[in-house]
Amino acid sequence: MLKEEYLQQLLTALYNSNALNVYDYTATNCGNAGEAFENSKDWTDELFNDKLAVYTDGTHTAMQITNFGKYWMLKGGYESFLKDSESMKKHHKDKDAHKENSLQKEKEELTEARLKLTHYRLIGFWLALIISCIGFILSLSNLVMLLNRNK
């Protein structure tokens, strides 16, 4: 039995009953020997991780369906959940790629703006230095003219 088939049947059984012992259900419907019974713990943990069902006891043998699981049962079961989650993963990948491209463009724009501002700072520095030098030279020439006048 395939994992998807088993989880679909288990989710249907959970939907039809209030609570269900996973091992009793698997032994009754699939037999004690087989892939379904050997992997039932791993597969039911997958239902738990996908938030379609919750464990109702401390030993993690009894399960109960969640509202999210009921929603997916009404939408078509575990297989439709898988199909939709795959399309959501593709959508998120596309969205992440678009976001990454926009972040890359934003980084490039910020780098250009930083370079431009650094250029303006350098121009301002040299302009201030030149004006200071001109002021110093003018004050020296004024001092020389004052000293020559007094002689």
Read off the pLDDT of residues 96-129 as tens digits, 9 standing for 90 and up.
677 788 888 899 999 999 999 999 999 999 999 9
Euclidean distance between CA atoms 65 and 48, whole angstroms: 9
The residue among 149, 146, 126 whose CA lies nearest residue 138 is 146
b/e 83-116 (16+ beta carbons within 10 angstroms → b): eeeeeeeeeeeeeeeeeeeeeeeeeeeeeeeeee
pLDDT at position 65: 87
Domains in the chain, CATH or no CATH each: 3-76 (1.10.10)
Residues in the chain: 151
pLDDT in tens, 33-79: 577 677 778 878 888 888 888 888 888 888 888 888 888 888 888 88
Tell me the one-letter amino acid at 127: L
Q: What is the DSSP letter of 56?
A: -
Is residue 92 pLDDT above 70, yes or no? Answer: no
Euclidean distance between CA atoms 120 and 3, whole angstroms: 65
Which pair of tokens denotes residue 82?
């898988």
Residue 134 or residue 84, greater confidence: 134
